[in-house]
Structure 1
């Protein structure tokens, strides 16, 4: 199966299609982990990827961004010095009306008759200003964490920015 470009699924065109109990054959999410790094320690600095436009982010894009961010953080900061969390979940089921191509396709394909489509993947619906990824770390690793989050932004189908929040000094 050929994957369609992300621009076909990026916009929120219709209402959410999430009721899996009525569907058969929904492919599983490719996201392996939602929390990575040191989960026990509290860090004073939170860096987050915040999206600038309302859109849908496919589960493959979330996983690609997670892998890029996590690998860079482990290499630069070390596993014990950060906590990475994915803040969205791909609930929305994407559908596609498969079209036959090649010789004799007109006899095989149904065209637009019964064009509801089959489930081909999932996506997270995100609103403008919503956090997608967050990294908690120490102040000495902030610059390296920003570089790794920047790497993750390149994998997302929407413009995004990095927001830094520091815990108040006690």
Structure 2
């Protein structure tokens, strides 16, 4: 019997049948409803625990046999149960694996494409925070948070680290005194083979048959020595930038190091070379970066002895 086409008959069958597909007692139902309330889901506590018990049984059976819909709103409309939405939220929270299960890089990159559809949006949507329009001469100091392990970093971890770093810099250095940039992007798609974890679930699912999972989230594939976060600011706020990255480091798994850059801001030039070429008018500012003017043009316009020599940065 399809609960979407005949919801009332489906509910009456569960109410009249003692040997339902999955049996959950009142204590377990009470625990799940309490967890739904503690997780601040949209759930109204009811004094009639038998109604909550029916909700749990209907929800679990629906997941097992008709597992193509997982949104609480669609299931609550299809079955017409009052307190089903909060219970569904608890079940969805339980079956998702934590990010530590996907920490190791074990397979090839699996990006979003026309073959990989239905990928949820990454949690991080902003990669540049602060005064990102400040010129290259405004913020000479630069510090990086570098990964010291080869691992996957979830988009939730990137967003948490960005918020922690931005909040500290805004409070102690000022919102106009820094530029924070997230240097990695979560392009790798994580999959999950949704399985039930309750009593009698073995009768409702097929185990490892057809175990290729559906997209659950996204993460960034990080190598050893790869920069995760970068902050540029004035020299007076250098200690604030290092402390902000130290606090953001706790949001990531594995090991990271805070490395003070020898470069000028986000450029590729060292601070000594930048100051030297700036005084010689060989540096052309280009937003947060800079261009080095080379020896292009007619040979007659070049200085004597510098006709065939490159004035680029030393290797």
TM-score by length of 2: 0.53
1:163 alignment partner, SS class: strand
Structure 2 residues without counterparts, runs of 5 or longer: 1-91, 265-270, 276-315
Aligned-partner SS, 1:80: coil
1:11 — aligned with what? 104
Among 212, 221, 245, which residue is 1:149 paired with?
Answer: 245
Matched, 1:165 2:261: yes
Shift of 1:23: 1.9
Higher mean alpha-carbon deviation, 143-152 vs 15-24, is at 15-24
- Contact 1:59 1:90 (8 Å CA) reproduced: yes
- SS at structure 2 position matched to 1:79: coil
- Residue 28 of structure 1 is matched in structure 2 by 121
The 1-side partners of 2:232 and 2:114 are apart by 36
| Structure number with higher strand proportion | 1
Q: Do 1:47 and 1:162's aligned partners in 2 also have CA atoms closer than 8 Å?
A: yes
Shift of 1:50: 0.2
Structure 2 residue matching 1:22: 3-state secondary structure: coil
- Kindly report which structure 2 residues correspond to 1:119-130, keeping only aligned pairs within 5 A, or say none: 119-130=215-226
**TM-fit CA distance, 1:20:** 2.4
Structure 1 unaligned residues grouped into runs of 5+: none
User: Which of 32, 46, 56 is the matching residue for 2:152?
Assistant: 56
The residue aligned with 1:108 is: 204
Partner SS state of residue 123, structure 1 = strand
After TM superposition, list the pairs within 5 Å mapping 1:67-106 onto structure 2.
Answer: 67-106=163-202
Q: Secondary structure at the match of 2:261?
A: strand
Aligned pairs, number:
170
Is the partner of 1:84 in helix, strand or coil?
Answer: strand
Partner Cα distance (1:132, 1:21) in 2: 28
| Displacement after TM superposition at 1:4 (Å) | 2.3
Please report how far the alpha carbon of residue 21 of structure 1 lies from its aligned counterpart in structure 2 after TM superposition.
1.6
- Whose relative contact order is higher, 1 or 2, with alpha carbons under 8 Å and at least 6 apart? 1
Question: 2: distance between equivalents of 1:82 and 1:91?
Answer: 27
Larger radius of gyration: 2
Judge conservation of contact 1:47–1:136 (CA < 8 Å) in 2: yes
Select the structure that is richer in helix. Answer: 2
Q: Would you say the 8 A contact 2:112–2:119 is kept in 1?
A: no
Mapped partners of 1:55, 1:101: distance in 2: 28
